[in-house]
Amino acid sequence: MKMQANSQLGMIVKCLPLLALSAAGPALAGESKAPQAEQSKMREWLEGDYLLGDWNGLRTDLSKRGIDFECFYFGSMPSNLSGGIKTGTAYQGALLTTLGLRSKELLGYDGGDFFLSAAWLNGQEDFSKEHIGDLNKVNLTDFPNMFRLWEMWYSQQLLSGKLLIKAGVMSVDRDFIVPEYYNSLSSINFINQTFFYPTLAFNLYDIPGFPVGEHSLPSTPYGALGLYTRYKPTASSYIQAAVYDGNPDLGSHGTNFRVAQDEGALVYLETGYRWNAAPSEAGMPGSLKLGGYYHTDGFYDVSQGTAYAIGNAFGAGPDLPKDHSGNYGGYLLGEQYLWLEKDQSDPAMQGTLAFLRLAGAPKDRNLTQFEVGGGLVFKGLIPGRDWDTLGIGASYLKISDDISDAVGEANASYGTEFRRPDYEGLVELSYKAQITAWWTIQPSVQWVLHPGGLTDLANQHDDAFAFILQTTLRF
């Protein structure tokens, strides 16, 4: 696999002159000896939205009829340069396919949308688990290999678009804690997974070494049966809520639907406000989101659960940890443009924006109890590279104090000298180069402090330095 990754890197290096030629196409057009028609075709292809173009007009025709079809491919080569578990390089890829159907064009009534998507993940599995040991995960496509249903839902707008109701298979990260400006599926400016969705939300997964529960989180590429509603009293504000199956199918296909009382339910609630969002408004745009979640299943006490896990390792056979009824957490996300090179009529929105995200959860039933992350994104920093972005982000993820105290008590009981878990830190520097409208190349350098928060008591690893090279294609 390492040889395969090196071969991929070699191919990309060989293509760099072609990439530079593509980026500098307009400047070189006058020197080309190609016929004007061929130059025009090439320019149209490079500036178009899709690698495969308009399918000779078929894509535009389908869209006019209410049918939209897209594919996105993410190819990544993560490398651990030092620290962590071991150094090495891998290749990980993800193909996302989406189909959208609009009721107005297809059936003659307004406000209805059907959405279907699938994900194919391939390459070497478990890069972070095998190389770094981090909770946040340095690579966005670091998931088990699978081909699965991602989302499948129908939505209907009512009350002149103020009310939206959606039902089907959904991923919570497509509707909640969604950034307005600094990061999205269509404009990925960071590659570490925590900037896509806060790691603290993954407290709903089982903690390694604890007894197995009936709960997890339906986040991309996983989805769960659910019902979602959003109400917009004004153009700038909204309130939304959703309820999901509490233990979604995490298997390879995502079609094993099961709603059972023993799994419980996951409820999300969020309100948000945007200011200076319209091009006609003169101020700097920004947004604020406040929300929380509640899971109705039982969750094991982490103090007793840690004692249970360590005791089993020493053959002590302790009693099962007690259950807490339900689990919950809250979050705040703020984004603010600090400077705009032009104004909001600029489609690239060149300028500098800042973001800050806070999240918290009770320490008695969760692996992590507090998370703070933030950073800066510079759009169009280099003259002539309007769509390029430079991102600088940092995250601090605190491990539960109850887990730390339980490790201290175990050290006293068993005479061990485990370091008490504390936090996982992260700093990422990433640059996304927009080669064409449908192609990006993005290197990312990440410094992982205290990988895993030192929760792997048997193997406590040094700080890691990772380099990830990612390319994205839109078909």
> What digits encode the pLDDT tens for the residues 362-378?
999 999 999 999 999 99
| Domain membership of residue 197 as a residue range | 48-474
**Does residue 311 form part of some domain?**
yes
What's the mean pLDDT when you consider all of the chain? 89
| Mean local confidence (pLDDT), 395-418 | 91
Q: Distance between CA atoms of 266 and 293, rounded to whole angstroms?
A: 7
Measure the CA angle with vertex 21, ends 191 and 342; round to 5°: 60
Dump pLDDT digits (tens) for 32-87.
455 777 777 788 888 888 999 989 899 999 999 999 999 999 999 999 999 999 99
Looking at the chain, the whole-number percentage of residues with pLDDT higher than 70 is 92
Q: Distance between CA atoms of 38 and 45, rounded to whole angstroms?
A: 11
| Mean local confidence (pLDDT), 413-421 | 85
| Mean local confidence (pLDDT), 286-313 | 92
**Does residue 25 form part of some domain?**
no
**Does residue 38 form part of some domain?**
no
- Which band of pLDDT confidence, cut at 50, 70 and 90, is reported for residue 14? very low
Q: Distance between CA atoms of 113 and 399, rounded to whole angstroms?
A: 41
Which has the higher per-residue pLDDT, 347 or 432? Answer: 432
| Mean local confidence (pLDDT), 152-175 | 97
**Spatial CA neighbour of 149 closest among 249, 260, 263:** 249
Strand partners, 71: 97
Q: Do 367 and 397 contact (CB within 8 A), yes or no?
A: no
Q: Distance between CA atoms of 172 and 222, rounded to whole angstroms?
A: 9
Q: Is pLDDT above 70 for 27?
A: no
Q: Is pLDDT above 50 for 167?
A: yes
Residues 6+ apart with CB under 8 A from 48: 54, 437, 438
Q: Which pLDDT value is given to residue 34?
A: 55
Q: Is 153 helix (H, G, I), strand (E, B) or coil?
A: strand
Dump pLDDT digits (tens) for 206-234.
998 898 888 999 999 999 999 999 999 99
Q: Which pLDDT value is given to residue 17?
A: 37
**Does residue 22 form part of some domain?**
no
Which has the higher per-residue pLDDT, 429 or 183? Answer: 429
Q: Is pLDDT above 80 for 464?
A: yes
**Does residue 9 form part of some domain?**
no
**Does residue 13 form part of some domain?**
no
Q: Distance between CA atoms of 469 and 77, rounded to whole angstroms?
A: 5
Which of 224-228, 248-252, 316-320 is least confident? 316-320
pTM of the predicted model as reported, rounded to 2 decimal places: 0.88
- Which band of pLDDT confidence, cut at 50, 70 and 90, is reported for residue 260? confident
CATH number (domain holding residue 306): 2.40.160.180
Q: Is pLDDT above 90 for 318?
A: no
Q: Distance between CA atoms of 222 and 149, rounded to whole angstroms?
A: 8
| Mean local confidence (pLDDT), 266-279 | 94
Q: Which pLDDT value is given to residue 10?
A: 42
Q: How far, rounded to the nearest angstrom, does the alpha carbon of residue 154 sit from its chain's CA centroid?
A: 23
Q: Do 77 and 8 contact (CB within 8 A), yes or no?
A: yes
Q: Do 370 and 402 contact (CB within 8 A), yes or no?
A: no
Q: Distance between CA atoms of 314 and 316, rounded to whole angstroms?
A: 5
Q: Which pLDDT value is given to residue 62?
A: 96
Which has the higher per-residue pLDDT, 362 or 17? Answer: 362
Q: Is 209 exposed, middle or buried (0-12, 13-18, 19+ CB in 10 A)?
A: middle
**Does residue 444 form part of some domain?**
yes
* Number of domains within the chain: 1
Which has the higher per-residue pLDDT, 30 or 111? Answer: 111
| Mean local confidence (pLDDT), 8-30 | 40
Which of 181-185, 208-212, 358-362, 408-412 is least confident? 181-185
Query: Which secondary structure element, helix H or strand E, spans residue 2, and what is its range?
Result: helix 2-23
**Does residue 15 form part of some domain?**
no
Q: Which pLDDT value is given to residue 317?
A: 67
Q: Is pLDDT above 50 for 129?
A: yes
